[in-house]
Structure 1
């Protein structure tokens, strides 16, 4: 299987696909900081920071190529810190790409997907596009995958339908129209499923994107006709925790099948696989016929609400695992000599085997002041009491209450709070003293919490202060490596650039913590890769080759 990765980030989805022996034809990422991590892990010997210190070593044979930069290749240090929102327009900056596509195979293109689409469509670059469409010699592209930036769709941020980021799923569709892969895979937050209010009407972004894929033309020089191209969208709501990730991470997934590929699959798939496509096919036919479609016309298969519909199908790998507690992901990192769990061994064996061994661990503990450590201990205590008491304390911390109920005091009195260094923990024997202590630690933060050792972690975000460790001896936020473990990155995956950022730089910089939080968990990528690989084998009629027979047996064992 060969694939193209858009919105590649640091490479979580790419690593998952690499673990099933896929071949990377091309990757694209906007951020130079995330690109540095991608290059370091996927292109052996391509240490961009080290090369930047020695400009003479920055030759023209890098696999990391800039689409348009204000700086020359010999100014690599400046490129790595360039604001991606200020890349020059095509033709006005330094471009590393050649019009004939030479050197493009297997590369990472640093730049805006909108500009990349323009570059590929430009007549002088026709040969480069043709070589890409032909898989650089393989004759085809199997998969185009990626997760467009999701901040404007996320329920944790400001939902803005008019946000410029919201055009990116449509740019994804434009790229698919240009390259015509057999299958496209789009990943996003579940917030994309919730409607926006636009001019008093409900607008569903996921539905409009699905319609855009159905409308894709095979020959872009012609207007759309009913029997010309198009992709049949299969929409899913899944959770990475059921794919073996130690994290509660619900996600929207759209698998879109080129019309001719879908026809073959439909003829070869058996029940209950056929049932998965019923609404997708009806929706597709209506769109191609120019009929009006509504949200009710396209079903989103939900692994949480209807897990049985995945059982015994090619989607089995997405719901095959029991949730992994966060303790299994990070407990051995508390100190030397602690045993690694089977979860850690799995991600290191399955995913780490795809990478070179690296010595950097990204496990630097962050240092916090006494007041912050006290607050973190409060969050840990809240995991030990009832939900009602926890909510009371949070209202105190958020300045919405001034005292505690008798019931809450009864629950909290036996708990040990962190007070000072030396002999740090103590119980409070008077309610007023505890209330005063809690009021001294008021905060405007509403999302902070302590991890629960026996449960999957909450969805990893790009800000490290959102969660603290569950261990009372570790009153701190997580390290980059701990967050990476929770996301299912193996220990030999090294994150590059600076760990974190702040202020106005947060608007364009993508430091290590953000790289981890934004990534597709590699284990989820592996599970999605199994799905795609199986379907491609079925489409090609090669399911009983040695490799595809192994895939079939693997899926049967899951059932």
Structure 2
């Protein structure tokens, strides 16, 4: 496998040498992958879950990876808790100050998510504080945070004084001491991701960098059509069928699972659509993570009836009606049959939340990964699923996919941030004169 240099990804040739980033709460690496595809140089990443880190390691750290982190000698290539790293390697982290262009990450969001219980006391919410501590140590030029929409919603009774707590406002206020900050709710389907997924992004440019953060999201939107054309995506949104129809069992058949005794994998005959060719990315053979769920015959029959009823009633991509749930004795509220002609609803960590649009089964990990815009060569590691209290401690494959930032969105944002940094450092004469008038103290410090 050929190792791609960061600068190789910058095919339009207008970028300076690669900007650097560090990714904490990195998960399986969706955000890092997108930034590397945009030409950024990853220095290192931090992820505490062993399953997720193994995925990150095998795709973005090993010597023969298509995109690779540089990785410092002082940091072990193992799953690491952010709090422990702040304690054990504080001196080395502080030495990185001024050498990191952007700190990125998505602190775990379970306590904020509307899909969960929105518990203000969930200890995972406090991980945001650790992210901010990294900001204070590394002093990056740019800060990028991604999280769920729920981070912008008040917790009614969370504050000790009886007030309300909005974590987004708290983060923005904390960053505002040293950064100019802007925010945006982004619909990922507008960037070619075949999923109606809304995520909240916070971007901060360090005071004195001379860049107005409001420019970033305007630039992302301004360059969006060009980005889509370069990706071969002729129109958005991309439908679920356009994303995963090449993985239908009826087309490919099955083979014994390559990593799980007693299971079956989807065989594979190649891509059918432009989006599938983009995701296939030169992969030869059967992609990883095509293991099928082992549904009991009565579950298969139930799914088949539900699919027929939802198509007949036009209730696709939405929760089952109370009548349908009652007729099958179902209590689960989130189950939905996919609409083949529309982007998927938000992919979740529960494998049976989404039923295939025509086949009586849950999606496999690879299909979920396609809906998140992961290329087929990106292989997920560790357990497939987990349950009970272990959900708070383990991040199996389905959860890794669901928690990730879609690489296509990360790439689009990464390209725009890099372009802003480059244009500030190497502006045209007319633009430089405007910069001199608006930010004289910044330009005086430049060589």
User: What is the TM-score when the length of structure 2 is the normalising length?
Assistant: 0.77
- The alignment status of 1:15 with 2:51, answered yes or no, reads no
| 1:307-334 deviation line (CA, Å, top 9, x unaligned) | xxx66x3443468662110001100111
Q: Secondary structure at the match of 1:363?
A: coil
**Superposed counterparts of 1:13-412, under 5 Å:** 13-44=31-62, 102-104=73-75, 108=77, 110-121=79-90, 126=91, 128-134=92-98, 140-198=99-157, 200-215=162-177, 230-261=178-209, 264-266=210-212, 276=214, 313-317=219-223, 322-334=236-248, 335-336=251-252, 337=269, 339-349=271-281, 361-386=288-313, 394-399=321-326
The residue that corresponds to 1:442 in the other structure is 329
Aligned-residue RMSD, C-alpha: 3.0
The residue that corresponds to 2:425 in the other structure is 540
Given that 1:348 and 1:491 are in contact with CA atoms closer than 8 Å, whether structure 2 keeps it comes out as yes
Given that 1:6 and 1:28 are in contact with CA atoms closer than 8 Å, whether structure 2 keeps it comes out as yes
Distance 1:317 1:446, change over 3 A: farther
Distance 1:212 1:389, change over 3 A: closer
Given that 1:20 and 1:529 are in contact with CA atoms closer than 8 Å, whether structure 2 keeps it comes out as yes
Distance 1:108 1:213, change over 3 A: farther
Distance 1:392 1:11, change over 3 A: closer
Distance 1:108 1:143, change over 3 A: farther
Distance 1:315 1:388, change over 3 A: closer
The residue that corresponds to 1:528 in the other structure is 413
Cα distance between partner residues in 2 of 1:392 and 1:190: 19
Distance 1:328 1:129, change over 3 A: same
Query: How much does 1:342 deviate?
Result: 0.7
Distance 1:327 1:35, change over 3 A: same
Moved more, 336-345 or 3-12: 336-345
User: What is the TM-score when the length of structure 1 is the normalising length?
Assistant: 0.63
Cα distance between partner residues in 2 of 1:240 and 1:502: 28
How many residues end up aligned between the 2 structures?
Answer: 379
Given that 1:39 and 1:46 are in contact with CA atoms closer than 8 Å, whether structure 2 keeps it comes out as no
The residue that corresponds to 1:422 in the other structure is none
Q: Secondary structure at the match of 1:234?
A: strand
Query: How much does 1:45 deviate?
Result: 5.3
Given that 1:243 and 1:317 are in contact with CA atoms closer than 8 Å, whether structure 2 keeps it comes out as no
Query: How much does 1:249 deviate?
Result: 0.6
Task: Identify unmatched segments of 5+ residues in structure 2.
Answer: 1-18, 229-234, 253-268, 430-447
Q: 1:513 aligns with which of 395, 398, 403?
A: 398
| 1:228-269 deviation line (CA, Å, top 9, x unaligned) | xx01111111111011100011000000110011xx224xxx
Given that 1:27 and 1:109 are in contact with CA atoms closer than 8 Å, whether structure 2 keeps it comes out as no
**Superposed counterparts of 1:446-465, under 5 Å:** 446-465=333-352
Distance 1:391 1:4, change over 3 A: closer
The residue that corresponds to 1:436 in the other structure is none
Q: 1:491 aligns with which of 376, 384, 404?
A: 376
Q: Secondary structure at the match of 1:21?
A: coil
Given that 2:181 and 2:202 are in contact with CA atoms closer than 8 Å, whether structure 1 keeps it comes out as yes
Distance 1:528 1:348, change over 3 A: farther
